[in-house]
Amino acid sequence: MTSDSFAIAKDGTRIFFKDWGPRDAQPIMFHHGWPLSSDDWDAQMLYFVDKGYRVVAHDRRGHGRSDQVSSGHDMDHYASDAFAVVEHLDLNNVVHIGHSTGGGEVARYVARHGLPSGRVAKAVLVAAVPPLMLKTPANPDGLPLEVFDGFRAALAANRAQFFRDVPSGPFYGFNRDGTAPQEGVIQNWWRQGMTGSAKAHYDGIKAFSETDQTEDLKAMTVPTLVLHGDDDQIVPIANSALKAVELLPNGTLKVYPGLSHGMLTVNADTLNPDLLAFIKA
C-alpha cells in the first residue's frame, strides 16, 4: 500500500481502496458487509475486470486497511467516506453494488451523495439491511433488540471466536443439513474480520440494525436491483428485500431459493451473470 491507495474523508480518516481496470471504462463500485473488507469482493472484481469494467472497492472506516478511528461508525459517515473515494477518483456513471451493511451504505450514498452529484447510474442491493432490521412499534416484524445485544456481547467477550462461529454457521448456510463447510471461505471471513477494529465492529452493529433507511430507498430513483436468498439467516428476506422493493421507485427484486447471506461468495457463478445482465441492460 502507498499513499495512492487511500482517499481522505472529511474528518481526515484515510479510506483504503482498490482500483482495477481501464480508467475510461464504466466503473463499478463495491461496498462490503460487516465486519469484512474490500477483499470480500474478490469473486466479483475479478469477474468484472475481465469483462472490461473499471472496478473499485474500499475498506469501510475501521475495517480492513482503512484507519482504525474511534468515531464515525454510522451510515452517514459510511456514505460520506464512499463519496470521498468517488471524488478522489473522479468516478462518473457509477454502478454501486452493496452487500448487507454495504447495501445500507449504498442506499444512503445514492440518496445523499450519488444523485445530488449526478455521478450514479444504477444500484444493486444484495442481502442488504434496508429498510430497517430492528423491531420497533413502526416495524413490528423486525428483530428484537436482544438479538443485536447478543452480537455485541459475543464480540466483546471473544471477538475471535465469534468471528469463527458466524461464517462456520449461518452466514454461508454451512449449518444446513447437506451443506459442506468450505474451510478456506470460513478462514478468509475470520481473517478479514480480525484485520479490522473491534470498536468499529461493535459500533457498526448499531449502524446496521437501528438505521431506518425508508427515506433513502424512496429517494433512489435510479434503476435498482434487489437480490436476496430466501434462506438468509442473517438478514431475513421478509424484513428487508421484500419491504425494500416496495419502497424503491425503480426497483426490481430477484429471489434465490435456498441461498444464504453469503451467496456472493459461495454462489458467485450464479450471481455474477445476473449482475452483469443488469449492468448491461
Q: Which residues are catalytic?
A: 100, 232, 261
DSSP, res 38? G
* Burial classification of residue 139, based on how many CB atoms lie within 10 Å of its CB (0-12 exposed, 13-18 middle, 19 or more buried): middle
SS (H, E, C) 16-29: EEEEECCCCCCEEE
Cβ neighbors of 35 (< 8 A, separation 6 or more) are 63, 163, 192, 193, 196, 200, 201, 204
- What is d(CA 139, CA 141) in angstroms, rounded to the nearest whole number? 6
CA-only gyration radius of the chain, Å: 17
Phi, psi of 227 (to 5 degrees): -115, 135
Q: How far apart are CA 238 and CA 242, in angstroms?
A: 5
Residues sharing a CB contact under 8 Å with residue 18, sequence separation 6 or more, in sequence order: 5, 38, 45, 55, 56, 57, 58
Residue among 164, 158, 188 nearest 64 (CA)? 188
Phi, psi (5° rounding) for residue 214? -55, -45
